[in-house]
Amino acid sequence: MKLPHLLRVEEEPDRFAPLIAAARVLGLRIGWLDLGGPGSIPESLQAAAGLGVQRAVAVGEGRTIAVKPLRGAPVLRDLLREHFRGCALVLVRGGEVEAASLKIEGDQWSVSTAATAARRYTVEDLAAALRKANPWNS
């Protein structure tokens, strides 16, 4: 299975709305992974997860919330495989992830890796780059 590209981010999700929209125009999907821990979880889901169910799910108003108990630290590859199948890109906030970093500077989108200097993109060019196998090093 092909795993999605990863970009580390620090800002709130709404800052990435232009990128998400540009990717959707190209038929690409983007996911969001917040490694800082979940926000508020409905008490019934917490209780069910605490009892050891495989998964506790709440559905309503166009959203699904799923709680799955974990043993030990989360494994990034498993998270990507389970939750982000079909995504071209996952924006990751928080935690320690070995991935390129994405910053927004005006109307430019800057991607930098540990091995390369920052590359600047328009939002449309960045979305198009997601189709490449190794977009940040080419």
* pLDDT over 70, % of the chain: 99
**Assigned token pair, 25:** 């125009």
d(CA 99, CA 118): 13
Average pLDDT in the 116-137 region? Answer: 91
- pLDDT per residue over 74-105, tens digit each? 889 999 999 999 999 999 999 888 999 999 99
What confidence tens digit (pLDDT) does each residue in 11-30 have? 999 999 999 999 999 999 99
Q: What value, to the nearest 5°, has the Cα angle with vertex 63 and ends 60 and 66?
A: 95
- DSSP letter at 118 equals -
Global pTM value: 0.88
- What residue ranges of the chain are covered by domains with CATH 3.40.50? 5-35+87-137
CA distance 1 to 90: 15
Q: Is 14 helix (H, G, I), strand (E, B) or coil?
A: helix
Give Cα 114 distance to the centre of its chain: 19
Assign 73 a pLDDT band (cuts: 50, 70, 90). confident
User: What is d(CA 19, CA 30) in angstroms, rounded to the nearest whole number?
Assistant: 9
d(CA 133, CA 36): 28
pLDDT value, residue 20: 97
Q: pLDDT tier at 112 (50, 70, 90 boundaries)?
A: very high
Q: How far apart are CA 44 and CA 115, in angstroms?
A: 46
Name the strand (E) or helix (H) holding 26: none
* CATH dotted code for 5-35+87-137: 3.40.50
